[in-house]
Structure 1
Amino acid sequence: MSDSAAAERHRRVAQRFGSAVAGVAPGDWDSPAPVAGWTARHVLDHLLEWSRAFLASGAGVELPAGPSTSTDPAGAWAVHAAAVQELVEEPGDRSLSNPHTGDVPLAVAIDQFYTSDVFMHTWDLARATHQDDRLDEAECANLLAGMEPLDQMLRESGQYGARVPVPDDATAQDRLVAFIGRDPLWRPPARS
């Protein structure tokens, strides 16, 4: 993937996640999420925290700290997404080193690992907070096609739950969600 394609994909995916963040009703941040033991706020915190650690340890990149997710979730996401967008738009010859991937151009690493994670967690946040959780079917199919050959390695990493069975005619989104260990039929508790 070219740097410009990675930048455009990040912009699109980050904006979609940002829309989900903006759409969370104030009382829904503590609602359960489809990830066992997580709330909606945990989904946002996860994306901010692991990406900061990933980029700091692998590329020496220190992302700016935004507002706290407990007081300004939308502001926290906006600062973070803008900083990552700047990285993918101006990566230069920077690379990310990781014992599992070796040296990878920075924009490619952000695209493959971070942007894809944001895309998948958009479903988690939207579903947890009673929002439209539909993802792009073609992107779901592409991600799934790239991940399925790595099934054993992904499970052993501890980053994904057990694959959830779905019908043969399930949508690409439901198959992707099930592959990463979510039940596509999971629903949040009704609002009181």
Structure 2
Amino acid sequence: MTTTMGELLGAAAEQAVPVLRGISDDRLDDPTPCAEYEVRALADHLLQVVINFQALAEKKPADFGSVPRFVDEDPAGWRDRFARETARLAEVWAAPGAEEGTAGQLGLPARTVGFMVLGDLTVHAWDLARATGQDFTPDPAVVAELAPALAAMAPMARENGVYGEPVEVGADATAFDHILAVTGRDPSWRPA
């Protein structure tokens, strides 16, 4: 039986929310494995993604054109907002019809769009955990479903500048290491 996107996103959120709650204010300017973002900007980006992909699940337009500033605009509440928004993300993707047809203005199959946000939620949670010295272990069911989906999307994502070139990993690499590598991340990345 195929795991629903709502279930997968709920499982990913359970792992991501503690990471974002664990980011202290003194780490917000630290670098991340996602080179174009420091911690603050990546947290803003991830929250924007979570909100916009709620709209896409509901077959509504999303706004990716603005640069969000959730962390600076609500320094005391952005972590709680992330928890609320990820819960809503899982809820809207669990709704009847969310995985059918195409999603929003992307014109892609809805389940593919669901995998896009699942990838961001999982990989960016790792980025933020690694940047801030936290542990992160993704849900095994998420990894099992995400690995083939991201591998299939990788060429288009690279062409659009979303993923970097794949990174080589050793024979002892985990399934999650392979996911990180296909997105252009070095699984052994640590802050300088």
Relative to the length of structure 1, the TM-score reads 0.77
Q: Deviations over 1:2-50 (max 9, x none)?
A: 6x83222222211211110111122112211101131122222112223
Cα 1:62–1:161, aligned 2, differ >3 Å: closer, same or farther?
A: closer
Structure 1 residue 60 displacement after superposition = 1.8
RMSD of Structure 2 on Structure 1 (CA)? 3.0
Cα 1:126–1:99, aligned 2, differ >3 Å: closer, same or farther?
A: closer
Letter paired with 2:167: V
Letter paired with 2:137: R
Rounded Cα–Cα distance in structure 1 between residues aligned with 2:179 and 2:62 = 31
Larger Rg: 1
Rounded Cα–Cα distance in structure 1 between residues aligned with 2:123 and 2:132 = 15
Rounded Cα–Cα distance in structure 2 between residues aligned with 1:19 and 1:176 = 21
1:88/1:110 contact within 8 Å kept: no
Rounded Cα–Cα distance in structure 2 between residues aligned with 1:56 and 1:30 = 29
- Give the corresponding residue for 1:82: 87
1:20 aligns with 2:22: no
Aligned length: 181
Q: Indicate the larger mover: 20-29 or 89-98.
A: 89-98
1:55/1:61 contact within 8 Å kept: no
- Give the corresponding residue for 2:43: 44
Q: Which runs of 4+ in 1 moved over 4 A?
A: 53-58, 91-95
- Give the corresponding residue for 2:66: none
- Give the corresponding residue for 2:33: 34
Structure 1 residue 57 displacement after superposition = 6.8
2:42/2:124 contact within 8 Å kept: yes
Identical counterparts, % of pairs: 31
1:82-101 equivalent positions in 2, closer than 5 A: 82-92=87-97, 96-101=103-108
- Give the corresponding residue for 2:161: 158
Secondary structure (helix, strand or coil) at the match of 1:30 reads coil
Instruction: Point out where structure 1 has 5 or more consecutive residues left out of the alignment.
Output: none
Structure 1 residue 131 displacement after superposition = 0.3
Instruction: Point out where structure 2 has 5 or more consecutive residues left out of the alignment.
Output: 64-68
1:141/1:176 contact within 8 Å kept: no
Q: Deviations over 1:63-94 (max 9, x none)?
A: 9xxx9322133122023223323312334578
Cα 1:60–1:98, aligned 2, differ >3 Å: closer, same or farther?
A: closer
Rounded Cα–Cα distance in structure 2 between residues aligned with 1:83 and 1:174 = 28
Relative to the length of structure 2, the TM-score reads 0.77
2:181 to 161, 178, 182: 178
Cα 1:80–1:62, aligned 2, differ >3 Å: closer, same or farther?
A: farther
Cα 1:184–1:114, aligned 2, differ >3 Å: closer, same or farther?
A: same
Letter paired with 1:144: A
Q: Deviations over 1:111-164 (max 9, x none)?
A: 322123201211101101100023245543542223324442221121101111
Rounded Cα–Cα distance in structure 2 between residues aligned with 1:60 and 1:81 = 18
